[in-house]
Amino acid sequence: MANGIVRKRISGPNDTELLAYRQLMVDQHAIKVVPKFLGVHQVSGEHFIELHNMLHGFVEPNVMDIKMGFRTFTENEVSNTALREDLYKKMIAVDPNAPTAEEHAQKAITKLRYMLFRENMSSTQEKGFRIEALKMRGCSPVTDLKTIKNDHQIRTTVGHFVNGRRSVAKDILKRLRHMRTLIEKSEFFQHHQVLGSSVFIVYDDHQVGVWLIDFAKSLPLPANTKITHRRRWEMGNCEEGLLHGFDELIRTMEAVQQNVHTLRHQSRATDV
């Protein structure tokens, strides 16, 4: 990471994320939503994409990563209906009461069942986003946020992040609304399902930045398939809930902006 550039390892010249960034850069709307793609770098046989370092120009920034969508897995990942004992064991290790009576009897579950169970632990399935991580100036990163699920927990956490700064909440909200409009107009997003992407938010004492990142699971839609990025996912419909997540995240930020000082006090009281 140097001179405002960050490198991310990819699988090779036909990597999904590389292909996505090349298309994003020629989309007049999408290019304004994502970090600037600067090219491909090869070192010792390994390939890297080079992107604008989103932290460049910020001084001791606060950072939040928000995973977007109803689901973060591809349909191919969960198409196998085989019952798996290892996934049943993983499930009961987290919540012994989660399996049904039938699942307890067979001591096995499908991968789809496990993935939906895992996504349902957070706000992913209901809100279309979950808070993955945050880092406040001078503090260690906080990553144990995957069980933050209800409105109060989410708003308190975001309120803690903006740290009582109504102007920061206002700037983030303005940017999120603009990003949503650009995504709705974008050719790229009309023709791709975008799984596992994140909204990356950064601010310091002088500026705010918000981008959509992570396109390793951005898959072209099958022929004659149209998605809204808002409808609920069913196997085969390719919906991933990206724009539903933006809608809900914007509602959250609106509430935070209106109640920023109260939420800041609550976050300190609960030590988020």
CATH of the domain at 136: 3.30.470.160
Q: What is the pLDDT of residues 104-156, one digit of tens each?
A: 999 999 999 999 999 999 999 999 999 999 999 999 999 989 889 999 999 99
Quick check: is 250 in a domain?
A: yes
Same domain, yes or no: 141 and 236: yes
Overall domain count for the chain: 2
Instruction: Determine whether 127 is exposed, middle or buried from the number of CB atoms within 10 Å of its CB (0-12, 13-18, 19+).
Output: buried
181 occurs within a structural domain:
yes
Structural domain range at position 108: 74-122
Q: Based on the fold, state whether residues 169 and 229 are members of the same structural domain.
A: yes
Decide if 50 is inside a domain.
no
- 253 domain residue, yes or no: yes
| Residue-level pLDDT at 188 | 98
* Mean model confidence pLDDT for the chain: 93
Residue 143 included in any domain: yes
In this structure, is residue 3 part of a structural domain?
no
CB 137 within 8 A of CB 164: no
Looking up tokens 């996912």 gives: 233
| Ranges of H-type helices in 70-213 | 85-94, 101-106, 111-120, 124-127, 151-162, 166-185, 187-190
Q: Which of 126-135, 216-225, 245-254, 261-270 has the lowest mean pLDDT?
A: 261-270
pTM: 0.90
Do 114 and 182 belong to one domain? no
Give me the pLDDT at residue 261, please: 66
Please indicate, yes or no, whether residues 78 and 173 belong to a single structural domain of this protein: no
For residues 205-214, average pLDDT? 98
Residues 173-192 have pLDDT tens digits of 999 999 999 999 999 999 99
* Residue 258 included in any domain: yes
Same-domain status, 255 and 160 = yes
Give a yes or no: residue 193 inside a domain: yes
